[in-house]
Amino acid sequence: MIEDKEIYNSIQSEARRQKEGLELIASENYVSSDVLEALGSILTNKYSEGMVNKRYYGGNQFIDEIETTAVNRAKQIFGVDHVNVQPYSGSPANLAVYFALLNPGDKVMGLNLYFGGHLTHGWKVNITGKYFNSVQYETGRDGLLDYDMLEKQVKEEKPKLLFCGATAYPRLYDYKRLVEIAHSVDAYFVADIAHECGLIAAKVIPSPVGFADVITTTTHKTLRGPRGGMIMCNGNPSEPLRPLVEGADPRRNLPTLIDRAVFPGLQGGPHNNTTAAIAVALGEAMKPEFVEYANQILKNAKKLSEKLMEYDFNLISGGTDNHLMLVDLANKNITGKQAEETLEKVGITVNKNTIPFDERKPWDPSGIRIGTPALTTRGMKEKEMEIVAQFIDRALKNPSDDNLEKIRLEVKEFTKDFPIPGIDNI
């Protein structure tokens, strides 16, 4: 038990909030007790700037073992030549890719934030939109990527790097078409799979491996690891030094460029406790139970989306192929912010989200984003999704204090049968 009462009490309160509520934020999850243990270990005491067998500090023999295990597991799961597991999270991973492959002012293209894209894919207030010449692409009116429109834009703009990936895109990507589009103007094609990483690891949705020049990801969403990041690529790494091959096709140099961009380009010492926890999560992702888990995420998302549509919720693109859905609330006469706040009162956590062509701002947009990875970790299945959809509908239909309090108690009771690892004794 932590002696510091102030922090201890806040952690206990957060644990209670997690236990008694329904977590529907599409990017969140619950890690296993083993991941928690690795994360809270003495590995946080150690400095290990550099790469395996090439550290700037002594005493790293066991850290090297751990990082090697994490890297080898990721290589095996995703089928890539090279993995860097040191990025502190997804945004630093993406920034390292810019630093590795571009010069300041070079042109990049990514999906516009309003259409589901990520801040680090060139959004105007992000460093990637300020230090690079960012041109954004959009979805069509139907909320789906329009590959013909994208191809035309890429051919006109001729970016040096094309990002795909999103925080709020409920459909799958045509990676083959995307790489053809990017390579037609000699641009790097980078796939950010932060959201779908666990689904790709379990092979329940298509992988960009074999298409993307570089793949970035977080490790804490569907992969169900600690907060961290990874960068994967193919290339001809000449272990152990991986020198740049002078005059070679830059794609041949990708492993070296990426490693140098992460350290010393962008970061100092890796977070070794996180690396160990990533290794544990990757080990878990190699088990057959994880494939079942990933399949169930998809089934739950399908069921939840169907039930919400039955309750006349308008889903962007008419449904989902992955773990998340995006709800346009215009026909319900509430904003995303109001919906988020109302649902929070009953213990249901979602996030407000812009929708394609939103006329409102991200702080109070027209939609909400809903995802199933966390509830699936708690063991919920399709029949529970029907009840969750009902809770959402009842709360948003009648947000009176009495009704919300009644639903809050029902939600609390409902969660009792679905434990969260590491939160048993609250």
Catalytic positions, please? 47, 49, 192, 218, 221, 227
117 is in an annotated binding site: yes
Report the residue number, 98 or 414, with the smaller CB distance to ligand DSN: 98
Tell the smallest beta-carbon distance from residue 75 to ligand DSN (Å).
25
Report the residue number, 116 or 270, with the smaller CB distance to ligand DSN: 116
Report the residue number, 27 or 222, with the smaller CB distance to ligand DSN: 27
- Cβ(196)–Cβ(321) under 8 Å? no
Task: Classify residue 105 as left (phi > 0), alpha (psi -120 to 50) or beta.
Answer: left
271 is in an annotated binding site: no
Using CB under 6 A as the binding rule, the residues of this chain from 229 to 248 that contact ligand DSN are none
Using CB under 6 A as the binding rule, the residues of this chain from 61 to 120 that contact ligand DSN are 118
199 is in an annotated binding site: no
- Span between the terminal Cα atoms of the chain, in Å: 13
Is residue 60 close enough to count as binding ligand DSN by CB under 6 A? no
Q: How far is residue 376 from each of residues 134, 202, 382, measured CA to CA in Å?
A: 37, 15, 10
Tell the smallest beta-carbon distance from residue 281 to ligand DSN (Å).
17
Is residue 128 close enough to count as binding ligand DSN by CB under 6 A? no
- Cβ(389)–Cβ(311) under 8 Å? yes
State whether residue 111 is helix, strand or coil: strand
Tell the smallest beta-carbon distance from residue 120 to ligand DSN (Å).
8
Report the residue number, 167 or 366, with the smaller CB distance to ligand DSN: 167
Neighbours of 30 (CB within 10 A): 20
Is residue 27 close enough to count as binding ligand DSN by CB under 6 A? yes
State how far the Cα of 150 lies from the Cα of 170, in Å rounded to an integer. Answer: 18
Query: Which residues, in sequence order, are CB contacts of 411 under 8 Å at separation 6+?
Result: 20, 21, 22, 346, 347, 348, 391
Q: What are phi and psi of 226, to 5 degrees?
A: -75, 170
Using CB under 6 A as the binding rule, the residues of this chain from 337 to 366 that contact ligand DSN are none
Using CB under 6 A as the binding rule, the residues of this chain from 260 to 289 that contact ligand DSN are none
Using CB under 6 A as the binding rule, the residues of this chain from 141 to 180 that contact ligand DSN are 167
151 is in an annotated binding site: no
- Cβ(334)–Cβ(396) under 8 Å? yes
Report the residue number, 27 or 300, with the smaller CB distance to ligand DSN: 27
Tell the smallest beta-carbon distance from residue 91 to ligand DSN (Å).
7
Alpha helix stretches (DSSP H) within 22-161: 33-39, 61-78, 90-101, 127-130, 147-157
Angle at 78 (CA atoms; ends 28, 94), nearest 5 degrees: 55
Angle at 85 (CA atoms; ends 100, 232), nearest 5 degrees: 55
Binding residue count for ligand DSN, defined by CB under 6 A: 3
Tell the smallest beta-carbon distance from residue 118 to ligand DSN (Å).
6
113 is in an annotated binding site: yes
Query: Which residue numbers belong to the known binding site for (6S)-5,6,7,8-tetrahydrofolate?
Result: 113, 117-119, 239
Residues that bind ligand DSN (CB under 6 A): 27, 118, 167
> Residues annotated as binding site?
113, 117-119, 239
